[in-house]
Amino acid sequence: MAQLREAGDFWSRRRAAVRAEEEAEAETLRAAEQALAEEERARAEAEKTDAELLEELGLPDPDTLRPGDDFAAFMQRAVPERLRRRALRKLWTSNPVLANLDGLVDHGEDFTDAATVTPDLRTAYEVGRGMYEHVRSLAAQALEGAQEEAAAAPDEAAPEAPEAETVEAAAEPAAPRLREVAEYETAVEDMSEAAEPAPLPRRHMRFAFDS
């Protein structure tokens, strides 16, 4: 009896799994058909002019709309995107509340760098290193110039040119002085401890009796 029950449960689960697979395949097929239909509709709309699309949808020309007219008809799903944008553009320009901003609107300006950064912009700044390579190249150029001046006038007492190691050390960012920081923190702690007043001695009660 138990074996029959287990066999029935197995075939029930199997039929449920097959049914779920068929439903998933049907859903995938419907999604593909819908995407294909949307693509065909978009292709057909692209081949037609705006006047033909407006006539088919029974909509007026967006440029003829005036304040107070119904722009909601252009927000339907069947309306192509280019007609919807034309209607919204006319709505913005026809409504003084939307067209004339007072400058107090939050995020009303373009805060991106797309309008200020030129194409193919290059910079010497490196993340985490700053202008290290730029400063290093400038120091190397200064060293070469000093060496050329010293070679051109060997008899004159020219100032000694900085060595490459000195230039390298000057170009590199200074490392934090951990020992000085630790000594400073220790001195501050000692000063804070010394600044605290010493605790007052405990006072005991004293009694005097007349003899």
The domain spans of the chain are 1-47, 60-99, 123-174
Query: What tens digit of pLDDT does each residue of 73-105 get?
Result: 898 888 888 899 999 989 888 887 777 777 676
Query: What tens digit of pLDDT does each residue of 97-148 get?
Result: 777 777 676 776 767 766 667 777 777 777 777 787 878 888 888 888 888 8
Query: What tens digit of pLDDT does each residue of 141-198 get?
Result: 888 888 888 888 755 554 555 555 555 555 454 444 556 656 666 765 666 555 556 6
Secondary structure (DSSP) of 123-136: -S-BTTTBTHHHHH
CB contact at 8 A, 83 and 48: no
